[in-house]
Chain A
Amino acid sequence: MNINFTLIAQAIAFAVLIWFTVKFVWPPLLNAIETRQKEIADGLAAAHEGRSALEVAAKKSEFTLNEAKQKASEIIGQAEKRGSQIVEEAKGNAKVEGERILAGAKAEIDQEVNRAKEGLRSQVSALAIAGAEKILRKEIDAKAHSEMLSKLAAEL
Chain B
Amino acid sequence: MATEHADNAQQVLTPSGYIEHHLSFNAQPMTDGAGFWTLHVDTFVMSVALGLLVMGLVWLVARKATSGVPSKGQAFVELVFGFIDDQVKNIFHGNRHSFIAPTALTVFLWVFAMNSMDFLPVDWVAGIVSFFGGEHAKWRAVPTSDINTTFALALSVWILMIFFSIKVKGLGGWVHELFCSPFGSKVWVWPANFLFNLIEYVSKPLSHSLRLFGNMYAGEVIFLLLGLWAATGVSGTIFGAILGAGWSIFHILIVALQAFIFMMLTVVYLAMAHESH
Contacts and interface: CB of A to CB of B under 8 A. Distances in A.
B125 interface: no
Contacts of B62: 24-26, 28-29
B103 A7 contact: no
B55 A28 contact: no
B103 A18 contact: yes
Interface in B140-162: 143, 146-149, 151-153, 155-156
Contacts of A11: 152-153, 155-156
Interface size range on A against B: 20 to 34
A8 B148 CA distance: 8
Contacts of A150: none
A43 to B, nearest CB: 12
A24 B56 CA distance: 10
Contact of B102 (A5, A14, A22): A22
Interface residues of B, number: 50
Interface stretch (B32-40, B130-138, B190-198, B238-246): B32-40
A107 B18 CA distance: 154
Contact of B38 (A5, A18, A32): A5
Given A5-B37, A7-B149, A24-B59, 10 more contacts: A2-B2, A4-B36, A5-B39, A10-B143, A11-B156, A14-B153, A21-B105, A29-B61, A30-B97, A32-B65
B54 to A, nearest CB: 9
Contact of B99 (A4, A13, A22): A22
A1 interface: yes
Nearest to A4: B38
B14 interface: no
14 contacts: A3-B36, A4-B38, A6-B148, A10-B143, A10-B148, A14-B106, A15-B156, A20-B55, A21-B102, A21-B106, A25-B62, A26-B97, A29-B77, A35-B67
A138 to B, nearest CB: 147
A17 B30 CA distance: 24
Which of B51, B77, B98, B143 counts the most A-chain CB atoms under 10 A from its CB?
B51
B48 interface: yes
Interface string B34-50: 01111110011001100
B3 interface: yes
B65 A29 contact: yes
A106 B31 CA distance: 155
B216 to A, nearest CB: 13
A5 B47 contact: no
A39 interface: yes
Nearest to B4: A2
Contacts of A33: 67, 78, 81-82
Contacts, number: 124
Nearest to B42: A6
A5 B78 contact: no
B101 interface: yes
B81 A9 contact: no
Given A22-B99, A25-B58, A25-B105, A10 B81 contact: no
B155 A25 contact: no
Which of A8, A9, A20, A35 counts the most B-chain CB atoms under 10 A from its CB?
A9
B38 A6 contact: yes
B93 interface: no
A6 B27 CA distance: 9
Contacts of B43: 6, 10
A13 B48 contact: yes
A17 B81 contact: no
B153 A10 contact: yes
B63 A28 contact: yes
A26 B155 contact: no
Nearest to B30: A5
B68 interface: yes
A9 B110 contact: no
Nearest to B41: A6
Contact of A22 (B40, B103, B153): B103
